[in-house]
Chain A
Amino acid sequence: MSDLLQRGQAWLSDKLTKHASRLVTYQRDELSVELAATIGKSEYEQDDGEGIITRAQVRDFLINSKDLLGSDIGTWPRRGDRILETDGDTTFVYELMSIGNEPPWRYSDPFRVKLRIHTKLVDTLS
């Protein structure tokens, strides 16, 4: 018996990739691949640990698990990986990092179809 919810999730994931995603470059050291990513969240975070404030633009990328695992990267996301998002002449460089108590990534759905990858802006190239 097939799981209706799982099929529904797969359908929704496919629609997200087809109609609400953009190509980004996923980098790990010298490896670099192009993947479709949906922007999951974008907000501003402030960390005032030890009274020293560091602010950061936080951005979540939703990427199909099988796209990342089937690419040259070939493994789960790792802290320190980078995602480059180009908008016109500007490239925004995001780095995988923990957000609050969460690790740098988690599954975005119960069926592990998509990964929710937490990043923070570390550089802007134009």
Chain B
Amino acid sequence: MTATPATVIQIAESVVAEINAGDFSKTNLAAQRLYVPNFDLEDMKELRVTVVPREVEYLPLDRVSNKFHATIDVAVQKKFSKGDAKEIDPLVFFVEELADYFRLKRLNSLVAARCVKVENAVLYSVEHWTQLNQFTSLLTLTFELAK
């Protein structure tokens, strides 16, 4: 018997599916769910989208149920060559597309979950920029459902 995955995992899997099926400026996406994104610099020549379940919060909703908040990180990464506007602007735009797509979105395969907050606190990681010539942007999505 296959156990039903934890709610936060179901949400993360739904996010992966919607990114891969979505109509964005970047095509042929192969987003994947990982617990810890862990790559070699050599593997960053192509755009990588990684979905990471980060945090769960239970807030009392009524006497028998909770307001369940699941925080999901979406990492968008690519090694750049020059790091000029021509190369980076499309990546920033793609991150914004993802943010716009998920804003207030109910997940197709888990309609009880709705995205109530979108944050792009790390528009690009300066550390990865200077140390790795790599664009890394981190989008944080918060999904809410009653549980």
Segment among A13-21, A50-58, A68-76, A107-115 that sits at the interface with chain B: A50-58
The answer to whether residues A121 and B38 also contact, given A50-B125, A54-B132, A80-B81 and a CB cut-off of 8 A, is: no
Answer whether residue B131 sits at the interface, using C-beta atoms and an 8 A cutoff. yes
Complex interface: chain B residues within 8 A of A89 (CB): none
A31 to chain B, nearest CB (A): 15
Complex interface: chain B residues within 8 A of A97 (CB): 130-133
Answer whether residue B122 sits at the interface, using C-beta atoms and an 8 A cutoff. yes
Contact A47 B130 (CB under 8 A): no
> Which of the residues B42, B73, B82, B133 comes within 8 Å of A124, measured between beta carbons?
B42
The answer to whether residues A52 and B136 also contact, given A80-B81, A80-B82, A122-B79 and a CB cut-off of 8 A, is: yes
Contact A54 B44 (CB under 8 A): yes
Residues of A within 8 A of B (CB): 47, 49-57, 79-80, 95, 97-100, 120-124
Complex interface: chain A residues within 8 A of B83 (CB): 80
Answer whether residue B56 sits at the interface, using C-beta atoms and an 8 A cutoff. no
Using a CB-CB cutoff of 8 Å, which residues 55-99 of chain B contact chain A? 73, 75, 77, 79, 81-83
**Chain B: how many interface residues by the 8 Å CB criterion?**
29
A to B CB contacts below 8 Å, 30 in the list: A47-B127, A47-B128, A49-B127, A49-B128, A50-B75, A50-B125, A50-B136, A51-B52, A51-B73, A52-B50, A52-B75, A52-B136, A52-B138, A53-B38, A54-B40, A54-B128, A54-B132, A55-B38, A55-B40, A55-B41, A56-B132, A79-B133, A80-B81, A98-B130, A98-B131, A120-B132, A121-B41, A121-B42, A122-B41, A122-B133
The answer to whether residues A53 and B41 also contact, given A95-B133, A97-B133, A98-B130 and a CB cut-off of 8 A, is: no
Complex interface: chain A residues within 8 A of B41 (CB): 54-57, 120-122
A80 to chain B, nearest CB (A): 6
